Structure 1
Amino acid sequence: MTAAQAMLDTSARASDVRRTNLASVDLNLLVALEALLEQRNVTHAGRRVGLSQPAMSRALARLRGMFGDDLLVRTSAGPTLTARGEQLRAKLPSALEPIREILVSRSFRPEEAKSKIIVAMPEHQALVLLPRLLPRLRSRAPNLDVVVCSLLAGSLKRLESGEVDLAVGQVDDTPPGFFRRTLYTDRFVCLVRQDHPSLQHEWTADRFSALRHAVISPGAEDGFGQIYDALAQLNLPDRDPLIVPNVMAAPMMVAETDLVLTVPLRVATRAAAMLPLRVMELPIELPPYEVSLIWHERRHRDGEHGWMRSELAAATMDVVHSLPHAAIAS
């Protein structure tokens, strides 16, 4: 056979495969065929797959029609396979194994995981959560990569499309198709520089209101990452707060100016441990700051995803029970 003829023959076989209509094939017959080819006995093969001898005989008749071959024949030495039967016996197990793999629901083994999970998380939450989460993951799933994305715009759509696996943030509600789990609740305090002029006087609501305020921009219209959005509701004289793009730039500016910054307590204590800042109790009342974990239903039952959600929740238990290291003034 020339090379050209071989190519034509291969092309013809490929065309035959493409024309095969799997919808017309009872795939259960392949399970019966596997047993028949191994047992070479109708009765024994029937027992293996839970069919009676008559039912297995009917299955063999259908298989013979499907393949256009007797597959199993009688000889003086007993039942034996035809040449086509021998070919199928060699190929069938490797063909059925991937199907069995698809149908078997495997439990997630974190120590064997070699994949990547993308978490949309604002910088201030990364500052609080990652020091507690990453050591847990390093010991339990050393080959699992966690990518933290601080780009929060369109987080719900990105969760829905699968571009992002999980999101951490403050959201009041989630639309249908999404799940939300509260990780922890914090309270608001404020930061001023250690030698701020206001500290020489009584720390009152009027004095707090009269200061120039800094506000950290959430960077997302759907609420993820927002730290403090109630400034406009407090009727403060400062109607034009300084918008700061990220959580680390804001405390650095406060440490060098007379600005005041309102943030959750755990963020404030982390910043005060690194910069010359004073953590002050708020002289006004604000609702609690609730941090949630959000995900889409497309991954709700995924074993790896569920394990990661549990690890995040476990890491936040350390956050809940941790005590601030910096003194809080009132």
Structure 2
Amino acid sequence: MLASIDLNMLLVLEALLEHRNVTHAARHLGLSQPSISRALTRLRGIFNDDLLVRGSGCMVPTPYAERLAQMLPTVLGPISGMLNRSFVQGEWRSTMTMAMPDHQALLLLPPLLPVLRERAPNLDIVTDSLLAGALRRLEQGDIDLAVGQIGEAPQGYFRRSLYTDRLACLLRSDHPALAQEWTIDSFASLRHAAIASDTKDGFGQVYDELVKLDLQGRDPVLVSNVLAAALAIVVTDLVLVAPHRVAAKIAAFLPLAIVDPPVELTSYEAVLIWHERCHRDPDHRWLRQEIAAAAAGQSRQQARGESTDASSRQ
């Protein structure tokens, strides 16, 4: 029985029951009057009922047609929802897991979460600080998005640059090195704090580069995350090399100084990466756009801050 029913017939029936006039139903659907008349004949055969009969001013529904009129919205509504692939504010009910190192969460979550609370209040966000195996986990659906310093996206993955940042040094504000000339030698004499990384991306790349430049006389002090490193720097002579915007965020709350490294280091690029299985999903696309907007807002904020700092030094 179901195989013989054309979904378009149900739309015609819905229009006929609403307008109770073949001409008006045809106009509503953008079809010709003869085609609606033929469809009504087919519907009468499908349901084995007259459905609509002539009345004094319009067609009137049979009792069975009245029951169908009550059922059609619950039938056609979900089907319309299946086909309407667009983000609807406030209706997204899901849990999204994002692989995001803690320093990225420090930057992106403060501007992102208020937007999600307003426009997608039923969306739960779970962050996972581990980037190891991110591509495999994206493919398998263990995570939905990954944010960090990630290389080229292989086939089947998409990659969007969020921001590029220079690297900076964080030291305690009364560090003895700040009272001296800031040179490669003074920088090399310091012991570094290093973020224990599960991957060669991100902070792992930073310290690999420092090792190649032979700027570290001793092994770095490994700490679990960037906030732990910052708290250690406040009370020690350690130095942390971090993306400038991360350093600025931390220095706003702790007595820390930010100085440029006395040697040229590769810039830091943070990217957003996802698997093609989510690429066309409207909800995922909306979230990706909001993450990019949060990163862009951080870029503008940093630019204003640097402009203010430059003005104050003049």
Q: TM > 0.5 between the two?
A: yes
Q: TM-score range by the shorter chain?
A: 0.7 to 0.9
Residues in 1 aligned to 2:56 and 2:181: alpha-carbon distance in whole angstroms = 109
Partner of 2:196: 217
Within a 5 Å distance, the mapping from 1:1-330 to structure 2 comes to 20=1, 22-73=2-53, 80-106=60-86, 108-109=88-89, 118-134=97-113, 141=119, 143=121, 147=125, 149-153=127-131, 154-161=133-140, 163-194=142-173, 196=175, 198=177, 202-220=181-199, 223=201, 228=206, 229-236=208-215, 238=217, 240-297=219-276, 298-300=278-280, 302=282, 304-305=286-287, 307-309=289-291, 311-323=293-305
Q: Distance in 1 between matches of 2:55 and 2:149?
A: 76
Q: Structure 2: which 5+ residue stretches go unaligned?
A: none
Aligned AA (2:290): M
Q: Give the Cα–Cα distance (whole angstroms) in 1 for the partners of residues 227 and 175 of structure 2.
A: 19
Residues 2-27 of structure 1, C-alpha deviations (whole Å, 9 max, x = no match): xxxxxxxxxxxxxxxxxx5x343211
Query: What count of residue pairs does the alignment treat as equivalent?
Result: 304
TM-score by length of structure 2 reads 0.75
Q: Distance in 2 between matches of 1:107 and 1:131?
A: 22
Aligned equivalents of 2:14 and 2:109: distance in 1?
A: 52
TM-superposed deviation, 1:93? 3.6
Q: Is the 8 A contact 2:108 2:291 kept in 1?
A: no
Match of 1:6 in 2: none
User: SS of the residue aligned with 2:164?
Assistant: strand
The one-letter code matched in structure 2 to 1:243 is L
Q: TM-score of the superposition, structure 1-length normalised?
A: 0.72
- Post-superposition Cα deviations, 1:47-89, rounded to whole Å, max 9, x if no partner, equal 4434444433432332233223343456899865444333323
| CA root-mean-square deviation | 3.9
In the aligned structure 1, how far is the partner of 2:69 from the partner of 2:13? 9
Cα distance 1:321–1:130, how it changes in 2: closer, same or farther (>3 A)? farther
Cα distance change on mapping 1:225 and 1:35 into 2, 3 Å: farther
Matches of 1:155 and 1:271, distance apart in 2:
27
